[in-house]
Amino acid sequence: MPLPYHEILKTHCRPLEPIPTDLPSVLGRLEGVRAVLFDLYGTLFISGTGEVGTLRESACDESLSGALKAMGIPLLRRVREAVQLVFDVIEDSHAASRRAGIEYPEVDIVEVWRQVVTELARRGVLEERDWKRAELERLAVEYEARANPVWPMPGLEACLRSLSEGGVLLGVVSNGQFYTRELFPALLGGPAEAWGFDRDLQYYSYRHGLAKPGLDLYRMAAESLARRGVEPAGVLYVGNDMLNDVCPAFQVGFRTALFAGDRRSLRLREGDPQLDGVKPDLVLTHLAELSECILI
């Protein structure tokens, strides 16, 4: 029986330490925060590539070779062609979505891999076979586990426990794929819900075909919270990217915290005109600082 996806991710995870940044913490008491929404990659989890882990330039030949080998699928020719094809399929998908009017689209990574293996078989790189969706999902996870190593940010468990026990609603707004949710059982021993995340406040880009820095996922979260009586001013969003995280959260009326705890993933986007007038309420260099700012 194949390993569960979180076990595949766990097998390839190794301890990582954040690389300190030169940015100082900017802290202060934020009154009335009833909900905290988080970005995941680079905020709650250290990302070895510094990015979201959806098969971008950090990909390498060895990751794909290893993923295929783990599944018992031989490569008939050099793998570099296959890695480049993954990038090309993603770019083509994004371009098609933009032509259809979606400014910030997200791919279904399983369908990306379906196109990739079909084309590789046509080119004689892989043997022809009937790929089931479960096999494509496993290929995606096997590759991701190797290409984008992750590890919990220091203080993560204590931070989540403190906020949850303090009665704060917890949620996610993240660019990610189906395997992103598996980071919680892989690295923390249980699903996100076991760590206080509300099942109905988790917004992953792959589920909607929409990505950050678009406002859609943030608006969905704001509408869900409004139905519970939580207005935008009572929401704090925490993320490591000024453009993808802080700016759209600010635009929907959330208060914001820039997480500056790891040089790999910190994105200040200095000089970007889209950030004119956008300033985070907090700058955090360690997750432990968060509860001190919002819990009385």
Residue in 157, 248, 161, 168 with CA at minimum distance from that of residue 201: 168
Domain shared by 218 and 132, yes or no: no
Of 128, 147, 166, the residue at which a domain comes to its end is: 147
What is the rounded CA–CA span in Å between residue 56 and residue 16?
20
Domain shared by 210 and 237, yes or no: yes
Total domains, the chain: 2
Phi, psi of 33 (to 5 degrees): -80, 120
Radius of gyration of the chain (CA): 20
Domain shared by 232 and 282, yes or no: yes
Of 130, 147, 164, the residue at which a domain comes to its end is: 147
Which pair of structure tokens corresponds to residue 111?
A: 């369908």
Which pair of structure tokens corresponds to residue 269?
A: 């986007």
Residue ranges, the chain, pLDDT below 50: 53-58
Domain shared by 214 and 172, yes or no: yes
Range of the domain at 114: 61-147
Of the chain, the end-to-end C-alpha distance in Å amounts to 49
Cβ neighbourhood burial of 39 (10 Å; 0-12, 13-18, 19+):
buried
Domain shared by 81 and 143, yes or no: yes
What pLDDT was estimated at residue 239?
A: 98
- Helical H segments across the chain, by residue range: 5-12, 61-70, 80-99, 109-122, 133-147, 156-165, 183-188, 205-208, 216-227, 247-251, 288-294
What pLDDT was estimated at residue 54?
A: 43
17-56 pLDDT tens trace: 999 999 999 999 999 999 999 999 999 999 988 765 444 4
How far is the CA of 217 from the CAs of 66, 221, 250, in angstroms? 34, 6, 13
User: Which single residue is written with the structure tokens 């991701």?
Assistant: 144
Domain shared by 142 and 158, yes or no: no
Phi, psi of 69 (to 5 degrees): -65, -40
242-272 pLDDT tens trace: 999 999 999 999 999 999 999 999 999 999 9
Domain shared by 143 and 156, yes or no: no
Strand partners of residue 239: 258
Domain shared by 138 and 157, yes or no: no
Domain shared by 257 and 135, yes or no: no
Of 89, 112, 147, the residue at which a domain comes to its end is: 147
Domain shared by 207 and 86, yes or no: no
pTM above 0.85, yes or no: yes
What is the rounded CA–CA span in Å between residue 240 and residue 259?
5
CATH number for the domain spanning 169: value is 3.40.50.1000
What is the rounded CA–CA span in Å between residue 220 and residue 201?
9
What is the rounded CA–CA span in Å between residue 152 and residue 2?
25
What pLDDT was estimated at residue 2?
A: 67
Phi, psi of 15 (to 5 degrees): -55, 135
Say if strands 282-284 and 235-239 run parallel, antiparallel, or are unpaired: unpaired
Domain shared by 202 and 285, yes or no: yes
Bond from prior residue into 213 cis (ω within 30 degrees of 0): yes
What pLDDT was estimated at residue 53?
A: 44
Domain shared by 22 and 157, yes or no: yes
What is the rounded CA–CA span in Å between residue 133 and residue 130?
10
Q: Quick one: residue 166, left, alpha or beta (phi over 0 = left, psi -120 to 50 = alpha)? A: alpha
What pLDDT was estimated at residue 136?
A: 98
What pLDDT was estimated at residue 162?
A: 97
